[in-house]
Structure 1
Amino acid sequence: MCFQEFLKQTSSCYNAELESVDFRNKYEEARIKINSWVEKQTQDKIKDLVEEGILNNITTLVLVNAIYFKGTWEQQILKSWSEKAHFRLNKLKTQMKTQNFIIFCIFILEMPYEGKELNMLIFLPREILDDSTGLERLEKLLTYEKFMEWTSPEKMDLTKVDVCLPRFQMEEKHNLKKVLTRMGMVDAFDDRKCNFSGKMCENLFLFEATHKSVVEMNEEGIEVAAATEASFCYLRTTAKQYFTADHPFLFFNCHNLNRNILFTGRFCSPCVRIS
């Protein structure tokens, strides 16, 4: 495949465009331009993705992608119902055992967005275990297969339930170079070993990789931006008629038709904003 055909396919399949900039003489101007593009794509939620010092006069290529999602609950939570409440982080000395196996219980809540094409799933540990918040154990147990099994339509009951969720806004930035290197992607960052000659010119190596995301949830819905998101709800429970997320939980945004996970996050404390 020639380079022009490659660009054509990336444009048609991924809406990706190539833009020429002068890194050699105007790399700071290019940095500002890239950040401006990211801000526009994420509705001003993500600023300064590329920090000063990342680009220089030997920079050859920068790959940037951004995503923005704003979902409104199908049945909005009334702001007049909002009130202050405690968010539990303390560890309780309670656990259930049977035949030497700890019974680990979770509640799963599904909240659809307008149009019902997308939904949010919240995985809430039933109790805060004595050796953790319960979230750590949930994360160790959770696999893709278990996720699909637990959230299958056959196991999710349509139930009228009172929902209590915290408002929150989280902002995180990750250096993906460290993460990818630990995962085994080492040669790409090594100028002596890397090989990107298939679709790019030779002598290129990956210098830096950064990911930044912002998630905000309130009574109206959830707003998500990332660059490199009430009465009738689905509740996986038989006895409980309320869902109170007053301790750490996992959340997932999913596509209903194919059940793909669009993004996922972990909410641990309403008092901490990570940047």
Structure 2
Amino acid sequence: MSLFRGAKKRPNVVPLMQKAVLVLSVRLFFFKSRSCGSLLPLAGQSRPSPLRARPSAHRPVPVRRGSAVPAAPLRPAITMENLRNANTRFALDLLRRFNENNPTGNVFFSPISVSAALAMVLLGAKGNTEAQVLKTLHFDEVEDTHSRFQTLTTDINRSNAPYLLRLANRLFGEKSYSFLPDFLTNTQKLYGADLAAVDFLQAPDEARKEINHWVEEKTEGKIPNLLSEGSVDNMTRLVLVNAIYFKGNWAEKFTEANTTDMPFRLNKNERKMVKMMYQKKKFRFGYIPEVKIRVLELPYDGRELSMIILLPDDIEDDSTGLRKLEKQLTLEKLQEWTCAEHLHSTDVHVHLPKFKLEESYDLKSDLAAMGLLDVFDSGKADLSGMSGARDLFLSKIVHKAFVEVNEEGTEAAAATAGIAMLCMAIEEDFNADHPFLFFIRHNPTQSVLFFGKYASP
């Protein structure tokens, strides 16, 4: 979620900015506004509804990489591949930041939720602010970003899928603040994000509760209270919310009777007991000798989504045993290690712990370290594509994600030949009794929806 803020205008002084917030049900941003005067009330409102667009001579600008809709699509297949690659690079950037901050702890987040929320910010960004968002998201090599994201969201949100996957967006705006019609039209058209009016000015806590209720509803109750008390105030002007929820059953379920208590090795010296699931079935499996890891694909019903697990052979360092893998993990390596050509179907003895993770992140410092600076600076942020004036900046970004893995499946809320040698044994062992990386992938688009590290029960 993103929060946008603003502040009072002063004579002969550049107006202070207003706050804006971006919220993700797996992610949250806060935006605030620089100026809190000259706010025109909306007439005849009896309930939260789309905010009034600010009358403006601003019309859609010529399309750039960050702009809304091009006159004609350019190489659709290549462009979608570029978007997928950009999202995966961004996911790995975030993973590295989280690992640096907490090298022995668990990690779980939804990179596509974060990307989608920032892409909505991109719709209103101009100048250097726009350039920094594009570079941070690796969108500078993606033509027609927003239309491609629209296509991706449509593919992911397929209504007749054998799994439940929802990716939803909504804008909550101060009811007396005016937004440009182009911004409102594009967020709704491209991201399905309607703008609902709330009273940040007079009743910020009630607005916060309304936002939390929407997020809780969209995540089937798994992420309540996304926004803590005080996270929005009467300077907040806009909250951009993205919520993602996934629930899928394994294509090959684990039998509950086979689940037993077993030790999980946190490092060379520490162990904790976990509920370890077991089954022997045919799965796609590969071995990467250069980093000594086993790769296992566990498909969900319908096989459109899979959990991919990267498991080191053993703990070879003084922390989680993942250090070598994490250092070498790049887009190219991840695609190479997990592509269909490098995984073969074979009988696998699978030991996998049942686990539940709920992680919260304030992403402002992480994104700033990745190059996203101006959008957080009230003196430099240019989000004039939202309001027609440089009166908004991003004050806070919070991301919260939940995942539960059990015998039935997964519930979650928040891509060169020859290098990987395949083990062609009749049966393989995959014993996840020590830390591992995992991600949930939408196979038709090869998009990473969730990324995690399980290191501590």
TM range (shorter): 0.7 to 0.9
Of 377, 390, 398, which residue of structure 2 is paired with 1:210? 398
Structure-1 separation of matches of 2:317 and 2:383: 50
Of 123, 126, 135, which residue of structure 1 is paired with 2:313? 126
Letter in 1 for 2:353: P
Structure-1 separation of matches of 2:378 and 2:225: 27
Structure 1 segment 112-191 matched on structure 2, within 5 A: 112-191=299-378
| Residue pair 2:248, 2:411 contacting (<8 A) in 1 also | yes
Of 228, 231, 238, which residue of structure 1 is paired with 2:424? 238
Percent sequence identity over aligned pairs? 48
- Extract unaligned runs of 5+ from structure 1: 93-101, 227-235, 271-275
Aligned to 2:71: none
Answering whether residue 234 of structure 2 is matched by residue 60 of structure 1, we say: no
Structure-1 separation of matches of 2:436 and 2:443: 21
1:16 Cα deviation after fit: 1.0
Aligned to 1:19: 196
| Residue pair 1:107, 1:237 contacting (<8 A) in 2 also | no
Structure-1 separation of matches of 2:192 and 2:351: 39
Superposed CA deviations along residues 94-141 of structure 1, whole A, max 9, x for unmatched, are xxxxxxxx9530000001100011111000001110443221211111
- TM-score (norm: length of structure 2): 0.53
Structure-2 separation of matches of 1:59 and 1:90: 45
1:197 Cα deviation after fit: 0.5
1:12 Cα deviation after fit: 3.0
Structure-2 separation of matches of 1:237 and 1:22: 61
Structure in which a larger fraction of residues adopt helix: 2
1:190 Cα deviation after fit: 1.3
Of 103, 107, 110, which residue of structure 1 is paired with 2:297? 110
Q: Tell me, what secondary structure is at the counterpart of 1:198?
A: helix
Q: Tell me, what secondary structure is at the counterpart of 2:190?
A: helix
Of 224, 229, 235, which residue of structure 1 is paired with 2:412? 224
1:199 Cα deviation after fit: 2.8
Aligned to 1:97: none
Query: Root-mean-square deviation (CA), in Å?
Result: 1.7
Answering whether residue 446 of structure 2 is matched by residue 269 of structure 1, we say: no
Of 375, 381, 384, which residue of structure 2 is paired with 1:197? 384
**May I ask how many residue pairs the two structures share in their alignment?**
252
| Residue pair 1:164, 1:244 contacting (<8 A) in 2 also | yes
Of 25, 28, 48, which residue of structure 1 is paired with 2:225? 48
Aligned to 1:38: 215
Aligned to 2:32: none
Q: 1:255 to 1:205 in 2, by over 3 A?
A: same
1:241 Cα deviation after fit: 1.9
1:188 Cα deviation after fit: 1.1
Q: Using the TM superposition, name which of 137-146 and 1-10 deviates more.
A: 1-10
Q: Using the TM superposition, name which of 30-39 and 81-90 deviates more.
A: 81-90
Q: 1:58 to 1:90 in 2, by over 3 A?
A: closer
Structure-2 separation of matches of 1:237 and 1:262: 28
Q: Tell me, what secondary structure is at the counterpart of 1:216?
A: strand
Superposed CA deviations along residues 32-57 of structure 1, whole A, max 9, x for unmatched, are 00000000000010011111111111
1:146 Cα deviation after fit: 0.6
1:258 Cα deviation after fit: 2.8
Letter in 1 for 2:256: K
Q: Using the TM superposition, name which of 251-260 and 114-123 deviates more.
A: 251-260
Superposed CA deviations along residues 29-85 of structure 1, whole A, max 9, x for unmatched, are 000000000000000100111111111111111111110001110011011111100
| Residue pair 2:267, 2:321 contacting (<8 A) in 1 also | no
- TM-score (norm: length of structure 1): 0.87
| Residue pair 1:39, 1:46 contacting (<8 A) in 2 also | yes
Structure 1 segment 5-16 matched on structure 2, within 5 A: 5-16=182-193
Of 251, 261, 268, which residue of structure 1 is paired with 2:438? 251
Letter in 2 for 1:260: S
- Extract unaligned runs of 5+ from structure 2: 1-58, 61-179, 270-288, 415-421
